Structure 1
């Protein structure tokens, strides 16, 4: 399997990798752990977090402090909010009934880092393929 077998396409804020299951099975068959893919996806999420953090609405800084990257095997996830910051969704998407305007800092960060995240994904998958002698 070569890097060219893994293709990238975007639809909104999602990235679809055609052939990812096949690539993951090949990685696992060659002895790679799922931890390698989790590390890659986490590092891609951190790119978005680094861009979104300074643009998050601030009053106390709790919302910016709640941004974090997940560790999925097949997807990069960025989360905001939690029990101590339950208003993260309201700040991001707005609440017209309460006269709260949307401040889509996460969506903006995804858009502005798109080229960087695609490059990191392509490089990371390529490195994993080389590491497992699959190229």
Structure 2
């Protein structure tokens, strides 16, 4: 197992490629999609921090949201916290059982982050409709 230093959890949205194309064709700004993805990911950060194993608290404090125009993600760990990945996904060779607190937070709260995402997409589409008028 490679210790990458962090955990990435993301979700795929069906039709996102078509949505980006439609936004571009309508003269909209696809950079707004990054904001939608970031807002959705940010809803999971405090929930995941509450579920993270707490020995020193550094792991929970390292949880953060990130986004591109194509995806939103929740990350945990970094170079100085390389144990995030094996603690989250497990490491059988070292007898570390998986404890997928970030994935659990995202899956258990899908309605929450999906609602935030949909609200942002509605705003983006509203801007485009406003330009057509």
Asked if Structure 1 and Structure 2 have the same fold, meaning a TM-score greater than 0.5 normalized by the shorter chain, the answer is yes
Q: 3-state DSSP class of the match of 2:93? A: helix
Q: 1:119, CA displacement in angstroms?
A: 1.6
Query: Is 1:113 matched up with 2:125?
Result: no
Q: TM-score, normalised by structure 1?
A: 0.79
Is 1:68 matched with 2:64?
yes
Computed over aligned residues only, the root mean square deviation of the Cα atoms, in angstroms, reads 2.0
Report the Cα distance in structure 1 between the residues aligned to 2:20 and 2:13, rounded to whole angstroms. 14
Match of 1:32 among 24, 28, 33: 28
Tell me which residue corresponds to 2:5: none
Query: Which residues of structure 1 form unaligned runs of 5+?
Result: 1-12
State whether structure 2 residue 131 is matched by structure 1 residue 125: no
Aligned residues: 122
Q: For the residues of structure 2 that align with 1:130 and 1:22, how far apart are their CA atoms?
A: 17
Q: Is the counterpart of residue 14 in structure 1 residue 11 in structure 2?
A: yes
1:65 CA drift (Å):
1.4
Separation in 2, partners of 1:49, 1:128: 24
CA distance in 1, matches of 2:112, 2:27: 29
Structure 2 unaligned segments of length 5 or more: list them.
1-9
Asked if the contact 2:39/2:117 (under 8 Å) is kept, the reply is no
| Aligned counterpart for 1:48 among listed residues 40, 44, 64 | 44
Please report how far the alpha carbon of residue 25 of structure 1 lies from its aligned counterpart in structure 2 after TM superposition.
Answer: 2.5
Q: Which moved more, 1:88-97 or 1:24-33?
A: 24-33
Structure 1 distance, partners of 2:74, 2:62, is 10
Q: Deviations over 1:20-51 (max 9, x none)?
A: 22322332344433331111100111111121
Looking at structure 2, the residues matched to 65 and 27 of structure 1 have their Cα atoms a distance apart, in angstroms, of 36
Return the TM-score normalized by structure 2: 0.80
